[in-house]
Amino acid sequence: GENVEQHPSTLSVQEGDSAVIKCTYSDSASNYFPWYKQELGKRPQLIIDIRSNVGEKKDQRIAVTLNKTAKHFSLHITETQPEDSAVYFCAASNPNQGGKLIFGQGTELSVKP
Amino acid sequence: ETGVTQTPRHLVMGMTNKKSLKCEQHLGHNAMYWYKQSAKKPLELMFVYNFKEQTENNSVPSRFSPECPNSSHLFLHLHTLQPEDSALYLCASSQDQRYEQYFGPGTRLTVT
């Protein structure tokens, strides 16, 4: 089955710097890759997603890139702000397995003012 | 924020108790999910229901018993739990299994 590895597990940056979180997946048939943000004590919320027919997607300060050949995808946050501090989860979904999401281990991002 | 609701938000139960967690979605979705979130671990999928039919049981112990009476409601019945079952239990829903999942606020369960 699908396996998703996420790195780093913790990331600390200064306000204004960029942050990059990387995930690799094992199942080449996976075709949907969402990123969720979970603030302390709150529910995970989708912040951006990408499907396998595109290589990059951007939404204001966040972007996701996908390399299907290497089976990895990354989240990029530019001009980080303290409110970006949260745990970020990547996930991969294989339509041949009912589309269930397999999550990475999570990255705890801390943005220091 | 109110699209997917869960009750109770916090639950403390002994190992011999029987309790139920409730999830309700107001989004007209057809798929619903139970996840377990433990500290320092990824989100673990437990059960998936699609159009009220269970389509996934991710090797979950029988002390967890799901129920989906209709597409809007999902329950997780708990009995004879173990302390290691203490975790945040999250419910989610999606239009169908290929689309974005919306999470509820979770139930923080402590087994004593």
pLDDT of B1: 60
Rounded CA separation A2/A102 (Å): 7
For residue B4, what pLDDT is reported?
Answer: 96
Are A111 and A15 within 8 A, CB to CB?
yes
Q: Report residue B10's pLDDT band, with 50, 70 and 90 as the boundaries.
A: very high
Chain B residues near any Cβ of chain A (below 8 Å): 41-43, 45, 48, 50, 55-56, 90, 96-98, 100-106
Pick from A23, A52, A101 the residue to mutate for testing the B interface (most B CBs within 10 Å).
Answer: A101
Q: Please report residues of B whose CB lies closer than 8 A to that of A95.
A: 98
B42 contacts in A (CB within 8 Å)?
4, 6, 89, 103-106
Residue B84: what are its φ and ψ, rounded to 5°?
A: -70, -5
pLDDT tens-digit map of A92-101? 998 777 778 8
Collapsed DSSP state (helix, strand, coil) of residue A97? helix
Q: Do B103 and A44 touch (CB under 8 A)?
A: yes
pLDDT at B54: 87
Q: Please state, in angstroms and as integers, the Cα–Cα distance from residue A106 to each residue in A5, A19, A34, B71, following that order.
A: 9, 14, 13, 30
